Amino acid sequence: MAGQKFQYDESGGTFYYFILSFLALLLVPGTYYWWPREVKKDAESSVLLCQCTGCKKKKIIMQKSEPWKIFKHAFMKLLIVGGWLILAFLTYKVSQFDYEYSNFDPYEILGIPLGSSEATIKKAYRRLSLILHPDKETGNEKAFMKLTKAYQALTDDESRKNWEKYGNPDGPGAMSFGIALPSWIVEKENSVLVLGLYALVFMVALPTAVGMWWYKSIRYSGDKVLLDTTRMYYFFFHKTPSMPLKRVIMILGASLEFEKKFNSEIIERETDEYEIPKLIAQLHNLGEKNRERPLYYKYSLKARALIHAHLWRIPLNPETLDIDRIIVIQKCPHLIQEMINCIAQLILLAYAQRVPRLLNIETLENCMKLCPMVVQALWECKSPLLQLPYVQEEHLKHFVIRRRYIRNVQQFAQLKLEDKKTILKFLKDDQFDDVMRVISKMPHIDFQVRCEVIDDEASTVFTAGAIVTVTVLLKRRNLSEVFGDETYKDKNIIENDKEQSENKEQKEKEKNEVEKEKEKDKEKVEENGQSQQNKSNSRPVWQKKQHKTKKSSGKKQTHKKQQISNAEKKKLNWERKQREKEEREKENAKQEKEEKNKEENNKKNSDDNENSNSDSDSSSSDDEESGKSDNENEDLKKTNSKRIQENSNVDDDDDDWEKFQTGINKRDRVLEGRSKESHTVHCPYFPEDKQEYWWVYVSDRKSRTLLTAPYHVTELVDYDEIQLKFTAPRWPGIYTFAVCLRSDSYLGFDQMHDIKLDVKEAPKVPTEHPQWDITDDEDESKAEDNDEDISEFTTDEDVEE
């Protein structure tokens, strides 16, 4: 290998091998991933889709949003097919090379049978050389070289031996190494072109492509949101810890994704100068007079007006403002998720005392409420029943039946089919079927919560400062399972009932307090009247019209009450003393009776012992048998207790193993990544296909604070398990926290589950333990072991060290 020389490929055979392998590496995975696949539209799936006017408009908008889709698919197909054709051509060329170099048969080349004489070999060689010689018109250089090799292999003794032994008249072939590039690349004539091509690819095209990619990537976060937008969110949320919903919309409209400088999709038209003021005049409480930056910029006012118009479902010009509305509404869910992340981080920083202000949970929940509002194009104050197709505000009066007001979709789903038809009598049969299809696909969540302290012996005991793990189990089913089941109550409805009952209790308390105050006033007035009547008899006539103030009457009443209370106290003390005396007398009588009973029992026992000595011989055998039976019973009890302990240990081991396996499965799920597909949402006013997502978090309703960062559930297809962790309070007591589940797609599907924690004092850190105590004997044994470790070759100096 030391003297081996590398040369460029003169014939071009190895270069074909290089291109063939490179194309195969690109085409095989590229065809699998990039070949455009058209989804087959089944007749059943098309029937299951909603046929309302909003969904039809949405389909048209989605088709218009991808005008180059057909051209892209055609171009990708042509590119992939062309690559496979080139690959087939290269494989054919390579196969020809292999056939020429591997199949060398001199008899076949000369066209003579095996074992022919030299005369026939010479005649065949002369005949073919006249045809294949390069100087002739029918000549071929390669074929003539093959012919000469075949003639030498059959006439020359050494070449014949080489051919018979190695299959080649030139002898064994030596291994050759070369560069799989054609030789014309290094020729002097083509050097300028080759260097120019290298410079263009590696010094211009590649650095510019990497630079453009890097410049775009550093401007955006992981959720494809501009970093300048996240900085603005941090500023405003830190500035206003408790933010109302309308201000959240103002900050959302001020996102830099809606400015043309940062987003090339945004279109600025001349018609905006008179169309946007008209739209603002139709809206109220828009906050257009606010002079904060960037809330009063033109792009911010335009985006805010379009969001308000979307929430009010105001029809816009389809050629101008409606196109801008589609661009703005498409980006809102991602921006709202970024808002929630910013608020959660600010709350964590406030707990760590890195930020002076702690944000209220109302700010976070207002952001969460805004997402389903944008998806369904509804304000929070509107009825959730407007999410259904064909249902408008003038139809809500039909949802009051038999003195029962249906407030949400869940209550409507629980009705019987006849009641549903009577409510939706203003719809046709096909429209009624559309409504029932949409309701049947809506979510019905089974929401369960479990609290524990992981990696602790007593997992259900919560001590101060312990890390509490809240495991949330979510089971998603369709709302069609609740059809006609009027006995079932959803947690959201239960919450509303609780709120109503709480409000009723508060009102009743207020009424009772008011009535008590009125009764007190009446009593005061009556007492004043009686005192005045008593005094009026003694007074002369000219003093009858004089009235005393309320203060004097109040003082007299308090003085009377004090006198009565002192007398009652004396009576109570006297009664208490008498009760204590009676109890003491009863206890003394009991003690005397117990002493008498003890003396009588001692006398009886002495008489029984005398009688038992006489009968001891007869009863000895019986005692032995009873003793044996008692011993056997004790042995059985011990064995049973041992078995119970062993079974309990086995059960504990099984539980530990199951917990370990569940922990491994959760880690594997985290490593696999989170998918973004769950269930499609019926949202005719949202310009894209929306997947059904949820937020789960733990909060303290009394202090209005957030305890855990909101977990974004994006893969709830059938079942999902989420773990939320927070630190228990420092002070012992009973605390009530709320685990909240909020939807980002539907209004009226939020749920809340209360958890109670009995926090106890944390045990003191042990300073002494039996295992830590070392006796003198153990010290001596350790010293002896150290002495034994000393070898016979060590010196006194080594031992002293």
CATH code of the domain in which 758 resides: 2.60.40.150
In a domain, 211, yes or no: yes
Residue 472 confidence (pLDDT): 94
Reduce the DSSP state of residue 119 to 3 states and report it: helix
Domain housing 243: 219-382
754 and 723 housed in the same domain: yes
Residue 487 in any domain: the answer is yes
Same domain, 271 and 323: yes
Q: What is the DSSP string of 740-772?
A: EEEESS-SS--EEEEEEEEEEPPPPPPS--GGG
Q: Is residue 525 part of a domain?
A: no
Tell whether 697 and 791 lie within a shared domain. Answer: no
Do 111 and 63 reside in the same domain of the chain?
yes
Q: Is residue 739 part of a domain?
A: yes
**In terms of Cα–Cα distance, which of 386, 362, 342 is closest to 252?**
342
Residue 401 within a domain: no
Geometric angle at alpha carbon 778, from 774 and 783, rounded to 5°: 120
Identify whether 92 is part of a domain: yes
Please give the DSSP secondary-structure letter assigned to residue 202.
Answer: I
Q: Are residues 664 and 753 in the same domain?
A: yes
* Final residue belonging to a domain, choices 349, 365, 382: 382
Q: Token digits for 130?
A: 């006249």
Q: How far apart are CA 716 and CA 696, in angstroms?
A: 12
Is 388 contained in some domain? no
User: pTM for this structure?
Assistant: 0.66
What SS3 state is found at 225? Answer: coil
Q: What is the pLDDT of residue 308?
A: 95
The CATH number of whichever domain residue 288 belongs to comes to: 1.10.3380.10
Tell me, yes or no, whether 127 and 71 share the same domain. Answer: yes
SS3 452: strand
Output DSSP code: residue 402: T
| pLDDT, position 682 | 93
DSSP state of 733: E
Clarify whether residues 177 and 310 are in a common domain. no
With H, G, I as helix, E, B as strand and everything else as coil, classify residue 724: strand
Residues 255, 378 within the same domain: yes
Residue 162 lies in a domain: yes
Extract the residue ranges of the chain whose pLDDT is less than 50: 1-4, 42-47, 101, 491-504, 506-507, 525, 531-565, 611-623, 625, 671, 789-794, 798-801
> E strands within 257-313?
none
| Same-domain check for residues 272 and 248 | yes
DSSP letter (8 states) at residue 684: T
Q: Decide the pairing of beta strands 711-713 and 694-700.
A: antiparallel
Tell me the longest C-alpha to C-alpha distance in the chain. 177
**Are 235 and 210 in the same domain?**
no
Query: Domain boundary at 334, 359, 382, which?
Result: 382
Structurally, the chain folds into a number of domains equal to: 5
Q: Tell me: do 787 and 685 sit in the same domain.
A: no
- CATH code where residue 61 lies: 1.10.287.110
Token output for 688:
């894209």
Q: What's the pLDDT at 495?
A: 46
* Distances 322 to 264, 270, 308, 660 between C-alpha atoms, Å: 17, 15, 13, 54
> Do 197 and 319 fall within a single domain?
no
pLDDT in tens, 453-495: 887 777 888 898 899 999 999 999 999 888 877 666 654 444 4
Q: Which two tokens stand for residue 140?
A: 């071929």
What number of other Cβ atoms are within 10 A of residue 491's Cβ? 16
What mean pLDDT, rounded, does the chain reach? 77
- Pick the closest to residue 698 from 684, 685, 711 (CA basis): 711
Phi, psi of 452 (to 5 degrees): -165, 165
Of the candidates 406, 430, 390, the one whose C-alpha atom is nearest the C-alpha of residue 420 is 406
pLDDT tens across 639-687, in order?
656 565 555 555 555 555 555 555 555 555 554 556 788 899 999 999 9
